[in-house]
Structure formats: C-alpha cells, structure tokens
Amino acid sequence: MLNRVSLITFSLFVSCSLNAYADETEDLSKAREALSKQDSDADTEKALEEVFEAAEKNYSLLKRGSAGLNYNFDYSYYGDQRIDLVIEPTLDSEGQPTGSSTIRNADVSPVASHTFTNSFTLDYGLFDNLTLSGRLPLVAKFDTEEELTTYALGDISGTVRYQPFEYIPGRISQTYFATLRLKTGDSPYEIDLDKNLSSGSGYNSISAGISVSKVMDPVVLFGSGSYSYNMPQQGLDQVRGSSILEEVHPGNSLSFSMGFAYSLSYDVSLSASFQGSFNDRTRFELYTPATDSTQSSVAGSQMSGIMNFALGVRVSPKTITNINVGFGVTELSPDIILGLSLPIDIEGVKPSSGN
C-alpha cells in the first residue's frame, strides 16, 4: 500500500507540465509562455508528490532537517502558419481608389519555436509541516522563423509550503503555498527583439494558493488553485518600431489544475490532469520621439489550457522516473509538451538518524 501510493504521488510532479505583449503579432510567443506552466503550479504538484510518502509521518511534507533534490527536463513546441499578404487598392482611370483591392502576393510560411528547460529543485524541511524550496532553471530556445538561438538562465523562484493540519488517512490533505519568482532571465522587454530571444518573463511575481489531494486506493485525486500578482516594470528603454517601450503593467493571473493518478502495479502508475490559466490584460506605455507623445497600448486577457498524461516507473528501490506527454487545448498553449522528472540522491547531506 505504501509503495503503491508513493508511486502514484511521485508521478503527479510531472502531470501538469502550467505571464504579455504590446503588439499582438510581435509578442504572441511571449503571451504563450506567460499563459503556460507557472512556477507555483509545479510547486503545488511537488507538495502532492510528498503526500503519503511515509506512514509514520504526521505531516506529508519533508521531515524536519531533511533535504531533497530533483532534476526536471521540459520541452515545449509551438507551431504556427504565418501569412504575409501584399494587397493593392484598385484604381480607376483617374488614379483614384475605387474601394476594392487586389491580393498581389500571398506567402504562407511555417513558424516553430522550441524551448528546452533543465531545472533543479532543492527542498528543505524547516519543520515537519513547513518546507522551503528553490528552483534554478536553465533555458535553451530556438526560433525557426527568425533563426535565433539563446542559452540563458531562466527566472529563479523560491517557495514556502505549509500544512496546517496533520495528515489523517482517508481524509483530504491540504497544503498552502506561496512563491516568489525573480526576473533573473533575459527579459523580453529589455532585449533586442531582432537579435535575441528571451529566457524569462521580464517581471517579478508573487503567487499564493492551495493544493488538495485524497487517496482512494488505487486512485489519488488532486487539485490546486493559485493567484499571481505580477509586478509592473518601469524605466525600460526598448525600441519597438518607431516607438520606445518605457513601462509594462502585466496583468495578474489565476491558475488551477485537477486530475487523478492510478496505480497499475507497485512499480508502474499512470496519471492524467488538466491545467488552466487566465491572464488579465496587460498595459504598455510607449513613447514616440517623432510626436513627443506617450501612448498606452493594451493587450486583452487570455486563457490557456493544457492536458497532460504521465507515466511513473520505479527503476530502483529508491528511485522513480516520471515521463509526461501533453498538448495545449487553446491557441496560446504549447502544441507539444514533453517532460522527464528524476530525483537525485543527496543522502549525504541529510542528518543522521541520531540527530
């Protein structure tokens, strides 16, 4: 029973593989990234992974003084078809527009964006019911249309997870969490858009939420919800066409996930989950030197949805490898998502049983 449930909950870590833009065409890829996976969502599922990990625990988080390290590999693919049209107005014999137009050229070109993320997550049990986490992402990104490539650090984040009540078998387990994400990656609002790709969101954010789970052997049901406050960015100086971007006021976001995991045996489990995210509208302040004026541009709110399926396999008595495959169900979501999760043994840094 213990190993079987542990296998289920380990697979939940990768089951939900879940912030805007001034010009809809230029910043579409950034909007997609903002509405896909959130750091807080990953941490939420990390809490679910540790639920029911040891029968002797009164709390499902890491035991006081314990540490855990996980490696995660994530790949996402965005594919699209971009149409370039050359339209000329129809003129009469006097050279005046007649009100109609003619398409002189129509060019359809495929566009693809590939993002590879290698991340390391370190967890430390400050108390039996309070766990601290830190996540370090390394990002590689490729854009086939612009033929651009970048290798850079992503946005690092820290999370606090708190379980107010002891876990009682058969009852719903609750875990509250808060995440601070820092804009350590290359900002899409500071780079040269013609020469570079971004590796981060471009702003700091704070999120908080709750995750719940319930075991009904051999099934685990789980869900989570979170709210993110995205901090405005000022003092920018990015050239965009004939204007200069000076300020970005990103919209706040709501995220939720739900799903279940099923244990096929003591060594194999399957899980399925859905993750949604709503991002409020974003406002941009653009200065135009030619007219010496500042104008506001607003990008409307967006919604994304991702469906994920995960397979958990025990490869050793202490190691469970998780592989997940997902796809987006909305326009701004990734077309393909692949992920791999593998715990790293750091027994040497844990306190001895005598402590």
Element (DSSP H or E) covering residue 294: strand 293-299
| Range among 66-70, 78-82, 151-155, 328-332 rated most confident | 151-155
CB 154 within 8 A of CB 135: no
User: Residue 157 burial by CB count (10 A; 0-12/13-18/19+): exposed, middle or buried?
Assistant: buried
353 pLDDT more than 60: no
Name residue, tokens 């999760």. 341
Q: Count other C-beta atoms under 10 Å from residue 54's C-beta.
A: 10
Contacts of 57 (CB under 8 A, 6+ apart): 63, 128, 167
* Banded model confidence at residue 6, pLDDT cuts 50, 70, 90: very low
Name residue, tokens 């079987």. 4
Least confident of 38-42, 104-108, 164-168, 269-273: 38-42
Question: 189 is written with which tokens?
Answer: 């609002």
> How far from 175 is each of 26, 67, 157, 180, 251, CA to CA, in Å?
39, 18, 18, 17, 26
d(CA 185, CA 139): 9
Question: 127 is written with which tokens?
Answer: 């108390």
d(CA 158, CA 12): 20
98 pLDDT more than 90: no
Per-residue confidence (pLDDT) for residue 199, from 0 to 100: 94
What number does CATH give the domain 2-79+112-349? 2.40.160.40
User: What are the residue boundaries of the structural domains of the chain, listed by start?
Assistant: 2-79+112-349
What is the full DSSP assignment across 87-146? EEEEE-TTS-EEEEEEEEEEEEEEEEEEEEEEEEEEEEEEETTEEEEEEEEEEEEEETTT
Nearest of 40, 1, 14 to residue 320 by alpha carbon: 14
What is the full DSSP assignment across 142-182? EETTTTEEEEEE---EEEEEE--S---TTS-EEEEEEEEE-
Per-residue confidence (pLDDT) for residue 339, from 0 to 100: 93
Question: 341 is written with which tokens?
Answer: 């999760």
